[in-house]
Structure 1
Amino acid sequence: MSDYVLDYVWAFALALIITFALTPLVKRFAVAVGAIDKPDARKVHHGAIPRLGGLAIFLGYIGSVLFNGSIPHDHKLFGFVLGTVILVLVGIWDDIKQIEPKTKLMGQIIAAAILVAYDIRVDFINLPWGGVVYLKYWAAPLTIFWIVGFTNIVNLIDGLDGLAAGISFIACIAVCAMTLQLGQTDLACISLALAGATVGFLRYNFNPAKIFMGDTGSMLLGYTLAAISVMGAVKTAATIALVVPAIVLGLPILDTLFAIVRRKISGRPIFKPDKGHVHHRLLAQGLSQKQAVLMMYAVTALFGGVSVIVAEVNAWIGIALVLVIFLGSIFVARRLGVITHSDAAGHPLPRPTIERSDSDETISFDREELAKALEESDDSHKK
């Protein structure tokens, strides 16, 4: 490992420097092409903020990967870079034009299929109790499903300033630790390059954010983490390479599962957005954006620590740890109202007017706006 320390430092530092330097330029480009995120009822930011910051993450990350001596420039790297470029182009298109979800999904499937075409796929799975399951004809579709799923996972938590970038950084570090345990120095460098790019971007994305990563960034982060996990499984025949990213990204994965349950309970379409996600509920508990983000960082770090432990211990102990984390998450989610949040219909109350004086503070709502909001909420519960 010591022989590769400089490569690790170089991978992280170069990506950080490039991303940090290019983000202001990308911000100007985003404004010029109209890639602007405007506030609405579900979003917590105020004012129009440029998105497309993922382009800076991509340039810093891919530049670091291509100029690292520990990463072999073989056909798999070519396929990986090609798939990444296609996905980033789809993300840029979406950030500028807001394309249809089906079109975006098709782009994600194509990017994932390119990895499979270049022999980056899971052909078999090692079972914890021994034995191997060969996927045969299912190898390609299941690998594509895995990659597309991860591609969208990070996007689902991109709701607060710095949240997706910070959680992705923690995930990259955990995945890097896993690849080092498996002796995969090239994948460790790729993980560190992505980690460096997210840190360089966080300088502009942490609250109060000056730019958002957009779908370009969130899809890139999820896609890359998925690709690293699959390449790790291919190189070492170790199923743990797939398990670690799934555990460390347990927060957005569970948030997605809870959202499906919550919307089913309330009788709403599972793909219709609401304000019942974890970060929304933390804000409803009175936390500031920074406090909510830091708390979710801490939870992700906990999941990351568990993932590293699971990679080292007996399979059954690992399963027990994951089960404890899962049950604990359900308990906390119920307490926060993430699973059965009564206001999941997504009709927020109007913003209050706060009047302060030297001796008192008065909070008031516009009567007509309040009545309208309550009526909409009541109608949604009757359906």
Structure 2
Amino acid sequence: MLVYFVPFFIALIVAYALTPSVKKLAIKVGAVDRPNARKVHTHIIPRLGGLAIYIGFLAGVLYSMPMNHEMLGLLLGCTAIVCVGIWDDICNIPAKVKLVGQILSAAIPVAFGIQIEWLTNPFGNLIILPEVVAIPLTIFWIIGFTNTVNLIDGLDGLAAGVSFIASISMFLMAVSMNQYLPAMIIISMAGAALGFLQYNFNPAKIFMGDTGSMLLGYTMAVTAVLGLVKTAATIALVVPVIALGLPILDTLFAIIRRKMSGVPIFTPDKGHLHHRLLALGLSQKQAVLIMYCVSIVLGIVAIFVANVNYKTGILTVAVVLAVIIYSAKRIGILHKTTNSTHKD
């Protein structure tokens, strides 16, 4: 285990050391986040903090691992998604343009052979996927995770902290399955996220912006696929889904809530979990800490499910989902919402 501490601390230290300089750069190029009716901060805050996460991550990975075909595909893809994020943080590019950038970025590791080429069914047999299925499925998977972290980036320190917790869960799973390459990648990302979190926790001095949120989701998605390639175990994909269950379910609940209200699913509202916790009278710090705790529980569940038989895993997930749905109803996440014209 000691070998993994080196990339972790390199990434942490580099990200921490560079964040103040990135903050100055963000102000200089106009990459700032302005308050509006749906945002909880009340003054202009520089974003682009994801650039520090990216450089820290690169430092940890490149110091600890030799370059190979798969690593090159991952790092080129990460660089591409960071470029899209920087462009968006500075210029606020249209959603369609950003989606095209995400698709192209997702296609890079796929072109290097990192693909969901097979799955396992409950009876242990491999289901081989033809390229016509594997390629679009992998791209869809990567884009989905790329946007998942972005959707939870609503409170100081929330996205960085939840991503750190999810990364640790994935790391522990990778180590238990003797997946050296995925473990090194994800522990480097965990270190970079934690280093940046020192400046991003409430009261935030800088935001990660789309540069950071997309990079975090992207890296976890590609690393999960890489784990699948190395082990032929579908559980490599299940762990990040459960570990990132908080933003995934929050998004699902938002879609259900808006459907119930008869409004388009992309219509923004103040019904997300962090909005509801603030409405209950909690401070930003309290709300974030509660969501950290939920993420830790989900991370533990992910690791547990990965190490038990199929039936026990399904039962565990069902019980956890039932508790989450009940809690969501209690705090109003699934209540009908009123329309809003503000950008989400």
TM-score (norm 2): 0.97
1:161 corresponding residue in structure 2: 156
Match status 1:345 vs 2:339: yes
Q: Report how many aligned residue pairs link the two structures.
A: 341
2:216 is aligned, of 212, 221, 225, to: 221
Which residue of structure 2 lines up, in the alignment, with residue 275 of structure 1? 270
Q: Distance in 1 between matches of 2:340 and 2:249?
A: 20
Partner of 2:202: 207
Structure 1 equivalent of residue 169 of structure 2: 174
Residue 302 of structure 1 is matched in structure 2 by: 297
Structure 2 residue 13 is the aligned partner of structure 1 residue 17: yes
Selected match of 1:291 from 286, 305, 319 = 286
Partner of 1:325: 320
What percent of counterpart residues are identical? 58
> Which structure would you say has the larger RCO, counting Cα contacts within 8 Å and 6 or more residues apart?
2
Matches within 5 A, 1:139-154: 139-154=134-149
Partner of 2:73, secondary structure, is helix
Q: Does 1:127 align with 2:129?
A: no
User: Which one is further off, 16-25 or 317-326?
Assistant: 317-326
Which position in structure 2 is the counterpart of 1:192? Answer: 187
Counterpart contact for 2:167–2:186, Cα < 8 Å: yes
Secondary structure at the aligned position of 1:125 is classed as: strand
For 2:74 and 2:25, the matched residues in 1 are separated by 26
Counterpart of 2:254 (choices 247, 253, 259) is: 259
Counterparts of 2:129 and 2:313 in 1: how far apart (Å)?
23
> How far apart in 1 are the matches of 2:180 and 2:113?
19
Listed one character per residue, the Cα deviations across residues 239-269 of structure 1 (whole Å, up to 9, x for unaligned) are 0000000001001100000000111111111
CA drift at 1:323: 1.1
The one of 74, 88, 91 equivalent to 1:80 is 74
What residue number does 1:43 align with? 39
Task: Determine if contact 2:122/2:310 at 8 Å carries over to the other structure.
Answer: yes
Q: For the residues of structure 1 that align with 2:182 and 2:227, how far apart are their CA atoms?
A: 7
Corresponding residue for residue 183 of structure 1? 178
- Deviation (angstroms), 1:346: 3.9
Q: Spell out structure 1 runs of 4+ moving beyond 6 A.
A: none
Paired residue type of 1:86: A
Shift of 1:341: 4.1
3-state DSSP of counterpart to 1:274 = coil
| Unaligned residue ranges in structure 2 (runs of 5+) | none
TM-score by length of 1: 0.87
Conserved in 2, the CA contact under 8 Å of 1:128 and 1:316?
A: no
Report the secondary structure of 1:317's partner residue.
helix
Partners of 1:327 and 1:8 in 2: how far apart?
A: 36
Could you say what secondary structure the match of 2:328 adopts?
helix
Three-state SS of the structure 2 residue aligned to 1:39 is coil
- Partner SS state of residue 67, structure 1: helix
- Rounded Cα–Cα distance in structure 1 between residues aligned with 2:46 and 2:243: 29
Equivalent in the alignment of 1:375: none
Cα distance per residue 1:258-290 (max 9 Å; x no partner):
000111111111112111000000000110000
Gaps of at least 5 residues in structure 1 are 349-383
- Select which of 28, 49, 71 maps to 2:24: 28
Contact 1:72–1:186 (8 Å) recurs in 2: no
The answer to whether the 8 A contact 1:42-1:346 is kept is: no
Whole-angstrom CA distance in 2 between matches of 1:36 and 1:139: 38
Q: Name the counterpart of 2:91.
A: 97
Contact 1:276 / 1:338 at 8 angstroms: preserved in 2?
A: yes
Separation of aligned partners in 1, 2:241 and 2:38:
27
Give SS of 1:133's match.
strand
Paired AA for residue 320 in structure 1 = L
Distance 2:139 2:237 in 1: 13
Task: Name the structure 2 match of 1:360.
Answer: none
Shift of 1:56: 0.4
- The structure 2 residue matched to 1:111, chosen from 105, 110, 114, is 105
Q: Match for 1:35: what amino acid? A: A
Quote the offset at 1:345 in angstroms: 2.5
How far residue 318 of structure 1 moved from its aligned partner, in angstroms, is: 0.7
SS of residue in 2 equivalent to 1:19: helix
Whose radius of gyration is greater, 1 or 2?
1
Q: CA deviation at 1:319?
A: 1.1
